[in-house]
Amino acid sequence: MNGELRIQPADGILDAARHWLQPVREALGGEFLGAYLTGSVLTQGFDPALSRVNIMVVTRHLDPDILDRLAGAVPREKKRKKGALQFEPLFVSRRQIEQSLDVFPIEWLDIQERHLRLEGENVFDTLDVPRAHLRRQCEHQLRGKNIQLRQVYVTSKHDSAALEAELSGVASTFATLFRTLIRLQGETPPTNNGQVIERVADMYGLDARGLLCAHLVRYSGEGAYKGEELAQMYRRFLVEVDRLVHAIDELPVR
């Protein structure tokens, strides 16, 4: 387990993840290197009703024959029952990781700092994620999400369901970007996403209440905010994201 991981999932989640992994591990045989929990399951307040359990499986190779073996081994999800866990697997080879460190530095750094090994070796211990590209990738993704948020607001301002779906859908992406912004300032991000957002607001002179809006919509339950209240929350979040993009534009490229 990575030394910076401070959130331990419930035993039931670990048992279910290892049960899910068993046929996959057997199908891979000697191609298997390691399996890890990643993502929101390692954060405080993880809700299986809202999020899937992310499992990354790292292999030596991923040629078509191996993909065929995986296709026959991955457990098929039955109709989801209320409160039941759902798994979101990601299969990558070690070579794919090593060759994409400069392209996806945000994603690999986030996983390197926040994962839990289920079985096998810890391939992340020796990874050297180049931080020189972090600022560029972060700005690229922030600007893209900012454009997306504006488009949805213009086309769906009076459609509460669309606004709720958009805010809820981008919340986890922004949480990852916010952790990156904290790293760019030389700090280790908190494990609680609410605290992450508040720290980013403090660092970049933003309104924390506005920046928290997507997080609140996602984790307050479906329909918690409606009508004009939801539209105002969307607007406040959009304003703070606009301000954040301008702040990031002033950061030096390292």
Tens of pLDDT, residue by residue over 24-54, are 999 999 999 999 999 888 877 777 877 889 9
Alpha-carbon distances of 87 from 54, 71, 93, 196, rounded to whole Å? 6, 15, 19, 25
**Prediction pTM value:** 0.74
Q: Please provide the size of the chain in residues.
A: 254
Nearest to 229 by CA among 169, 177, 175, 164: 164
Q: Report the candidate in 204, 202, 203, 201 with the shortest Cα–Cα distance to residue 214.
A: 201
Average pLDDT taken over every residue of the chain:
89
164/214 Cα distance (integer angstroms): 9
User: Would you state the structure tokens that stand for residue 44, as one six-digit string?
Assistant: 């405080």
216-238 pLDDT per residue, tens = 999 887 788 989 999 999 999 99
**Is the pLDDT score of 215 beyond 90?**
yes
Is the pLDDT assigned to residue 3 strictly greater than 70? Answer: no
β-sheet bridge partners, residue 38? 54
Per-residue tokens: 228: 């004009």
**Do the beta carbons of residue 90 and residue 111 sit within 8 Å?**
no
Rounded Cα distance between 5 and 16, Å, is 20
- Compute the distance between CA of residue 146 and CA of residue 49 in angstroms, rounded to an integer: 27
Per-residue pLDDT tens for 70-79?
A: 999 998 876 5
